[in-house]
């Protein structure tokens, strides 16, 4: 029992000694810790380097980016107006043709013979008229001498009238044949580019309801760009089109060339499947750089808006509450400013509310910032 009491007393003495040592050490270190805290309190705040840009007012277009489809202004399917055998194909596949150029020639030997026959008939009719006129003149001369009768004079006049009527009928038949003869040479009705020509010399083509297109000509100059416009934008587009300011801009595929043209037509109904209304812009396409069927990115430009307040896209940040920017005040401190975005285009964001003209916003270095942080300008945007 005494041994246990002695052991407990020994451990208690050790514990008291250790506690006294740590207390003394703590008291000796406390002034140093207080000095370090004071040093930290008076240490200058470190400025975070950032890139700044100013919110500026500028003229920017009100636009809508979408997908456009290139379409020909006209696509003409050329068919035969008479049946026949192809004797000559005057164009190559994919050729550029002008209005009036010869495309196809049909074997016209039969109709040429019919025309020659009709011309002979007309010549015969003209000879009969000449004879009837001479007979009538002779009878009238004799009638004045009381040698001929009025009945013979009337018969001669009738004969002349019949000869003239016959000539008119045969002349109409000849004209009809001559018109049909023109159909045996098929001309380009418009200027454009043809596709492949499915017929070759010796091919038989037919006219009427069973006729298939001999060739299709697409008009390339100008050319249409067709885009689908959401219903909520159609009224604005129609108003801007009426004022002559609506247009469509695009970049030529594979090139950096920019093309644009006015909105010339808006469809008269919305597509029930998509809810979009198709608008068309007429684009000058010389030389031919746009081809029907191409799909490309386009900008539908409604109008130019003056005095739009804009900042570079890099200034815009997002959080769960929405969009914001870091605005830097005159004391070089950055502050979070919520903003309402109108639209973005060409690397700029148009601000509907939240900023004033001349406000400095951070465009690079936002990851190190917090509300109220001190900043230093390492570069101004655009320098």
Q: Is the dihedral of CA 13, 19, 23, 24 positive or negative?
A: positive
State if pTM tops 0.85: no
pLDDT computed for residue 14 by the predictor: 57
Look at 101 and 140; give whichever has higher pLDDT: 101
Q: What is the pLDDT of residues 157-181, one digit of tens each?
A: 999 999 999 999 999 999 999 999 9
Above 90 in pLDDT, residue 148?
no
pLDDT computed for residue 377 by the predictor: 87
Q: What is the mean pLDDT of residues 260-272?
A: 94
Phi, psi of 111 (to 5 degrees): -70, -30
What domains, with CATH codes, occur in the chain? Answer: 49-60+307-380 (2.40.420.20), 65-73+219-306 (2.40.30.170), 77-216 (no CATH)
Answer for the pair 360, 52: CB distance below 8 angstroms, yes or no: yes
Compute, in degrees rounded to 10, the torsion defined by CA atoms 153, 156, 157, 160. -160
Measured CA to CA, the distance from residue 275 to residue 66 in angstroms comes to 15
Measured CA to CA, the distance from residue 63 to residue 346 in angstroms comes to 11
Q: Which of 252, 294, 259, 301 is nearest to 279 (CA)?
A: 301
pLDDT computed for residue 316 by the predictor: 95
Above 70 in pLDDT, residue 256?
yes
Q: What is the mean pLDDT of residues 187-212?
A: 89
Q: Which of 132, 155, 131 is nearest to 143 (CA)?
A: 155
Q: Which of 317, 352, 312 is nearest to 336 (CA)?
A: 317
Q: What is the pLDDT of residues 366-383, one digit of tens each?
A: 999 999 999 998 866 554
Answer for the pair 221, 291: CB distance below 8 angstroms, yes or no: no
Q: What is the pLDDT of residues 335-361, one digit of tens each?
A: 999 999 988 887 899 999 999 999 999
């Amino acid at each position: 029992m005494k041994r246990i009491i002695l052991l407990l007393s020994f451990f208690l003495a050790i514990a008291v000694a250790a506690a006294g040592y740590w207390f003394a050490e703590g008291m000796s270190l406390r002034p140093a810790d207080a000095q370090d805290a004071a040093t930290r309190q008076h240490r200058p705040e470190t400025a975070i380097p950032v890139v700044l840009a100013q919110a500026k007012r500028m003229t920017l277009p009100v636009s809508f980016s979408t997908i456009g489809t290139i379409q020909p202004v006209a696509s003409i399917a050329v068919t035969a107006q008479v049946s026949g055998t192809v004797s000559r194909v005057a164009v190559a596949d994919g050729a550029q043709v002008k209005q009036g150029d010869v495309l196809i020639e049909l074997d016209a030997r039969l109709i040429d013979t019919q025309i020659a026959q009709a011309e002979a008939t007309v010549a015969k009719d003209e000879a009969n008229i000449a004879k009837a006129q001479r007979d009538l003149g002779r009878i009238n001369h004799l009638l004045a001498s009381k040698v001929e009768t009025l009945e013979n004079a009337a018969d001669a006049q009738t004969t002349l009238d019949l000869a003239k009527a016959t000539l008119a009928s045969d002349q109409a038949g000849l004209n009809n044949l001559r018109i049909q003869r023109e159909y045996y040479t098929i001309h380009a009705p418009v200027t454009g580019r043809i596709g492949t020509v499915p017929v070759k010399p010796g091919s038989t083509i037919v006219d009427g309801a069973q006729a298939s297109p001999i060739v299709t000509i697409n008009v390339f100059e100008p050319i249409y760009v067709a885009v689908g416009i959401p219903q909520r934008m159609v009224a604005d587009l129609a108003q801007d089109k009426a004022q002559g300011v609506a247009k469509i801009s695009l970049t030529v595929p594979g090139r950096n060339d920019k093309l644009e043209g006015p909105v010339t037509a808006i469809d008269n109904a919305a597509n029930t499947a998509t809810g979009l209304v198709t608008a068309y812009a007429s684009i000058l396409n010389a030389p031919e750089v746009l081809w029907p069927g191409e799909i490309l990115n386009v900008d539908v430009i409604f109008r130019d808006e003056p005095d739009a307040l804009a900042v570079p896209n890099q200034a815009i940040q997002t959080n769960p509450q929405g969009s914001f920017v870091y605005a830097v005040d005159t004391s070089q401190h950055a502050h979070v400013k919520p903003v309402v975005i109108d639209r973005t285009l060409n690397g700029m964001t148009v601000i509907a509310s939240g900023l004033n003209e001349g406000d400095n916003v951070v465009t690079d270095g936002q990851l190190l910032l917090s509300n109220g942080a001190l900043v230093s300008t390492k570069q101004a945007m655009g320098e």
